[in-house]
Structure 1
Amino acid sequence: MNQVNLMGNVTRDLELKESATHHKYVQFVLAVNPIGSKDRSADFINMVAFGTQAERLSSYVQKGTKLAVSGHLASESYVNKDGAQRTSTNVVIETFELVGKNKSKVKDEAVEA
């Protein structure tokens, strides 16, 4: 089983990008505060979404948005600018929900559309 459920705040505005094969995606970091520990700082988790999910996220999410996500972990290897082999682990978003005051923005815009 490979399932991840997180809730946190988006650390920067999202930018919808397109891959060389014309697939749309967004990458961002979610700051997740630990439960019951005021002594520990937030965990910063790499997130990625593709296709329709990426388009929706880029339309409604901005820096500071509180977001609940469900997805799975995926690791990839790559060579960085210095030629060193690196590995990156991301949460691939399958579903998401805006939390708190952000929800009304989505409902208002959906009604106007």
Structure 2
Amino acid sequence: MATLNLTKLWINLLSDGSAISAYSSDRGRSYEVATEVRTYAGGRQRAITAEGARRQFEFKLMQVSAATVDQLEAWAGQAVQVRDHRGQRFWGVYGGVTVGELRDSTYTAAITLQGITVDEGA
């Protein structure tokens, strides 16, 4: 029986399939439903909730080259697919890259992916 070991994080640009891979640390995530509380006559307060949920995923790529950082910066604002070392897939858009410089002339690059809905069959 064949076994597949995923050791890296993969990011694919959805428009053309270009890929970036790097080692990564564990990811963070958040989940939020758009809600607000409105005050009506007599001081009554009611919750107003919008349909759907907002999901964010934080990924940190380790020991990447300057060219990879440039590529990540160029992809900001475009739809991507991210596959982590567990094989899980995430689709979304990130607005920017947070870069840290390491001693060996490589970088860390962190992105916060805003989840989007994707039809896999299309």
TM-score in same-fold range (> 0.5) = no
TM-score (norm 2): 0.31
TM-score (norm 1): 0.32
